[in-house]
Structure formats: C-alpha cells, structure tokens
Structure 1
Amino acid sequence: MKTLQLFYTVLVFSILTSKTADAVLPVLPILGTAMDVISFGLDVHSFFDSILGDDETQSTPAPVDYDRIINRISERIEMSTETIVFKIELQAYISELRTVALTVKQLLAEMEDIIKAKSKDTREELQRRFRDNFERHKTEMYKVKSLLTFSVDVSGISNTLLSLIANELKCGMTSLEEFQNYYMTLVSDVVALALLNERLSEKSLYNQTLSSWRTAIESLFDDMKVQKNECKGKFFELVTEDFSLINDPSKLFENNQNRYPYRETDVLYLSGSYCVWSLKAYDKILKKVKDNTMTFVLISGEDNAQSITSEQFQKIVSEAKFGNCINDIGKIISFYDVLGKDLVFWLMYPQEQAAGFQIFLDQNSTARTITTESEGTKYTTIVYLRAQEPGTNSTLTTSDFDVKFHEEAVSVDESSGLKTWQLGVIIGGSVLVVIILIVILCKCCCRRRY
C-alpha cells in the first residue's frame, strides 16, 4: 500500500496586537454548511472501512479511493498554517483551541501509523492505542462544540468568547469569516477522528455520533450567524469611525471592502474644479473637508437603487450647466421628482480636472455616471438617487442640499501652441505698429494744414 503522508501544522494565536484585519491569510475552502464540515469525516470513515473490512452499520458511504483521501488530507495540511492575532487578554481562552489543535495533530499522526502498518498484529495494536488516546482526550476535544459560547471575564466585563473575538476583530466581516472557517475546519478534523474511533470500536455508534455532530455543527453556525448580525447592526457606527480615522481614499475604500463586504460603499475624493449637491439629512452620506479637498463615502441600499433609463439620465444631466451649478439645482430636483425619485447626491466636474480626483465605486454601486459635452468641454457627472414612496411627491427644495461649487483654473500646457513670451512679443509688436501708424497719420495731417 502506498504511504499516506499526514501532517498537521498547529494554528497558533499570537499576542500583543489587535491589527488582525491587516494579517495576510491564505485563501481557504469555505465550510459553510454542516455537510461541508462532516464530509471529511465521512471520507475518512469510508476509507478505513475499505481497508479494514465490511461495515456492519450499513450507513457508510461508498469507499473513497486512495487519491481522493490523499487530496483531502493535503488540503488540511495547507489550511492549517495561518496565524491569527489577538490581544493578550484573550490568550488564556484562545489557548484552549491550541490545546485541541495539538491533540488533533497527535491523533492524526496515529491515524497515519495505522495506515502504514505492515502487519495485522501491528495494525491492531496501533488501533487500540488510537482508541485509548482518543477516549483519554475526548472531553478536551469535544469542547469545540461549545467553546465559543463559554462566558469569559475580561477587564471586569463578562461576555462569550465569540463576542470578544468579534470585538477584537472590530467586527471586520472578512476576518470573522476567516476565523469561522479556521474554527469549523478544526471541528471537521475532530469529527473525522470521532468517526474513525467509531469504526474501530467493537460496537459502532456511527449513526448516533454523526447525528450528534450534525446538531452541534448547526448550532455553531447559528451562534456565528447571530454574532455576524450583531456586527452588521453596528455598521454605521463602525464605518463612521473608520471614515474619521482613515484619510487616504484608496485605503479607506479597501478597508470598507474588506470589513463590510455586505454593504456597497463608494469613496469619492475631490480636489480641483467640481460642483456638488449633497442632501443634508441623509445618513448614508459621510463627508469631511481637509484643506482644499473633500472626501465622501456614499452607502448604497434598497432605497437608493437606480431604476430609470440611461436615456432619462442623459436628458436630465444634459440640462445642467457646470457654470450655472447653484442655480440649476431646483430644476434638476424637479426633473427627478417627475420620475418618482429624490436626488441624493450630484457631482459634476470637467474631465480635464480628473487627475485631481480619486473615485472608487463598489462593483454593485448604485451610482450612475454620465458623460456630457458643453461648448467643447467634456464633463463627468455622478448621480445617486433614492426611491420615493409610491404615489407621493418629493418635498425637497434647494435648501435641503449642501451646495459646493469649487473652481480651480485648469493648468495650461505651454508645450503646445504659443508660449507666454511669444504671445508677449506678438502683442508688443502689434502695439508698436499701431503707434507708428498714428505718428505717420499725424504728420500727414500737419503737412496738409500748412
């Protein structure tokens, strides 16, 4: 029989920093359902059943071929090498997970030894050793069923370990899902060891064990879902805090994409010539001014999903004139009102000023971008709308908007056309010619008099 190489690299939780969201973690297969978690254990049980004899429970799946089980175990090797960082206050509780991981490593090594055994007597002895060690550490390993909901007292505040971890991760959803995937992978390994133990037992309780783990896994997913929903409920508080702390627009956008993938957020950084109309009483717009720049975060939702046609957009946007930005707002509000929409945000700027802007739009953004041309100059306009209640008319007026009309001269590229000194020579020469002509005319007039 080919040699099955089994290694289990323990996931270690480091300390002294809370910047978990910045850690670079490998991409892991997502374990999102109870069946995903149990499938590895089913493969292990089926594989051992195929090499040890017939299964009397009549419940084992079809035998797994050797290459497939090798691939499954190889995946586990790759996904157990990451490091997740937590503050030192949590280490006493996180170490419980590390203890489980060390035990799993030992038992997987014993599983390897059983497969590599050359004789029946040796294999049976190794099976007895595995079962003894499994029973000795069973209670310790089975803590993964409830460890996340253990009550923990940190700095005088009692909460579940899962809540404390979510707080440590600042409710960053990507980091929470990475932690969930690590944890459920560890649970998956424990399930596989438990099912192997049942296969090696004189009286197998395979069906009962599988059912018990399925129930526990579904409960774990429910606990994690509740925690994620609690985090989502804090979204506006969290995204506002990030907005106040992060000034670089590209980093702000990346932060929002990683921490809040369940919400569409756009970042608009403006510096140059632009016209902005921003609805004052709208909590889905965050804005701040620094020096001569403005930064906006616009948060999409069901109420500001777009539904009007490109032709309608083009017609309305074409009515607005960049040089008449402030006075055009009432007319534009009325145009959208006829279509059953409220204007939320409007940005227009000359395309030649685009270098002073950083516009980051989510792939599911509700922004509509239109290009227009007026008197030979091209303009870009970005518009956000919200849906009105059916059968109602907007009560918005120009006083409901903050209007920003900032103009900055477009730099002239003197490498093309006439340079400044050339223009000066031409103008000066023209003036001199005019003076000479005047002098000549005056002389002519004097001669005629005399």
Structure 2
Amino acid sequence: MDPVGADGGTAELLFGQAFSFLDNRSFSRREPTHTNDTNLDSDAVAMHQRVLARFPLIASALPDSEIERRVSLFEPATIRNDRTYLREWLDNFLPQMSEAEDFAIDDTNTHYVAMLDRLIDDSDVGPKIVTLGARQPAFTRGDGASREIFVHRRVEAGPRQLTLIHELVHFYRHPDYAAWVAASKDSDFYNEGLTEWLARKVMTSEELVDRTTYQPRVDVVEQQIARHVPEDDIARAFFRGEIWRLETRSTEARTAFETSTGISETALETDQNTASRTGPGIFQTVESGRHYRFLNLGFDEVQPKPEHLSAFREIKAAQIESDPEVKVRFVGHASSAGSLEVNDRVARRRSTAFYQMARRERLPASRLLDAGNPPHFGETLPTATEEDAITRAMNRRVEMFLVRGES
C-alpha cells in the first residue's frame, strides 16, 4: 500500500502491529546459565577438530587458539549497536508480530527498512528488540577470515556442540561459493540448507535423532542436489569453490572452472582442447570405497595426469593395500567430439593406460580385473549431458571400481 497518505500505507500498518506486540509484553525473566567462556572454548576446539577430521579437504585450517578467539558469549551488548543484525532479526520475526506475511515485501524497500529502523530506535520497544534478539541460541557475524560466532549462555551442552558444528562448517565456506550463493535465486536455501546438510555429516546418529534445524531446506538438498551430485563434489564446491561440480551454467561456475583448469568457456574449441591437455586432472569420489572417477583427461589423450596418479596412490594406500580381497577395474570413456569409432578407441586406450599406471605402481596383475580386455564405452555413457567445455571435461574420463568378492 502506498506509504504516502493519511494512513501511512503498509509500513505504518506493520509498525503499529509490531509496536503493540512488543509494548504489551514483558521480557524481564532471567535466563539460566549453561554456557560459559570455559565450556564454550573447549567445545569450540573439539567441534572444530571434528569438522576438520570429516572434511580433510578444508584448506588453511585455523589453529585452535584462533578458534577460541572467534567464539564468544552472546550478550545484548554484542548486538546493541549492530544495526545489520537487528534489522535481520526483526525482519525474520516480524511475521510473528504482525501481518507481514500477507504482503509480498522486498526487504530492501526503503520504506520497509525505515520502518524497521523506527522500531529499533524507539525508546520504548527498541530495548526489547535488543533483549529478544540477544536470546537467539547463536549468532554469527562477518564472513571468511573475519567471521565470529556467538552462543547464548542458556544453550545446553548438546545443542551448543551441534550449533558450533553448523557454524564452523559455515566458517570455512569458500569465497567463490559465497559469490555463487549471492547470485542465486534463493541465497538462504544454498547458504543455510547446504551448510546444515554438510554439518550433519559431522554429527553422530545419536546427535541427529532430534535434529530438525533447517529441515525443509535439508530435504530439498537431499532431493534436488545430493541425489545427483556425490557428497565429495558438494563438499569441494562448498569448501574449495569448485561450483562447476554442482552446475555448469552460471557465470560463477564457469569462472571457477576456468580458474581450476585453465579451460575457458569463451575460448575457441581448438584453444579449449589445447588447454585440456595442459590443465590439471580432476578427481571425483562417487562412492567412497567403491567408485571413483579420473576426469579432464586431455583432448584425444589417454595418459593419467599427475593429479590422477596422486589420487590413485592415496586410494591404493587407504583402500586397496589394506584389503587383500579388493580388486580393481578401470573403465574408459570419451566426450562426444569425433566419430563413435574414434571415441571408442580412445576410451579403450584410456582404460589400458590406467591399468598400466596401476602396474607401474606395483599393483599385482592378479588384482586387476579385465586388464586383458579393458572395459570401455566411448561416448555412449556420459556422466554429464554434454553441452559445453565443463561437461566435455567431465566426460573425458576413466572410472575406477573397487570390487570385493563377487560384487
């Protein structure tokens, strides 16, 4: 409704309703103390170690002393002069105080923001907004290297630890992922939904029993992302900014792909092919302990890249040498450039080259399945619908399966 007029429009309506809600309530009750500086610091360090153990791909992990410095008790003084936080808190809780949900409000609308500021600055209800805002279980401020975490003193040990896990995962969000989120149509979904989805990978089954934080968003992540994208790729997108592992169409994804591989989406195809030969190999965990992919082989080339060899050595040490029952099968694939016959031959040569790599790494022939007739499928089984430089790189690949018994 038009803010110009006798009634002041929608902004004045919501101001009056929120003012009445706050003015008629007392917030003088004392909060119990379950969290203090000592147990908060101790839990922060312990949960930080759990996050790092679950996601070893996190680069530049901070020392424990820095983590202790970044966590603090959440007090009214923490937010009293933090206008951004108070606006965000009031915007989130306004539907509980008013008819705000009946209107399609742009939260950047100048009249709306001015209405929030009027409530915050009001001498009667402003202090109550600060008191209520400071009773959030947790609050974070800043991003990346400047991020801080605040926890309210009333939060008990179990919820405190799970809150810290969620916020510490948030803490290591890569700047390129953050830029992608900011450009998305639903930043809250990709921000909190994927953060919580990853945080739950750190939590135990017992801790997850009553965990409902961001549940609708986690459900959508499961249905629309995790069903199609391996967990390792989600983590690499989030922690390392490799957005192209989630999708290939956005400007942010294409920029991140070019940064990672040197292959530019806007370059001529011949230049893309040249860059594919010199760019790094990509490794993907499809299913830990069973299925892996070596991606971005050079155009019309078959030999493993140094990154592929390094990844194979890690899997060999962790999964193969420790289990004498495990056998290995390599399967070659190709992108759609060229004829079916040429791509079939390239795919076979690729699987052959990876069997040879395994032999050079002293894996006995008895543990290499089908090495005499290397499995290959040419371009007929793409891992991504081929339409650009990114998806072509995903399809120039060799897949490795670890086979146990008759499986």
TM-score of the alignment, normalized to the shorter chain, above 0.5: no
Bigger-Rg structure (1/2): 1
TM-score by length of 1: 0.25
Q: Which has the higher contact order (CA 8 A, sep 6+)?
A: 1
Q: Which has the higher strand share?
A: 1
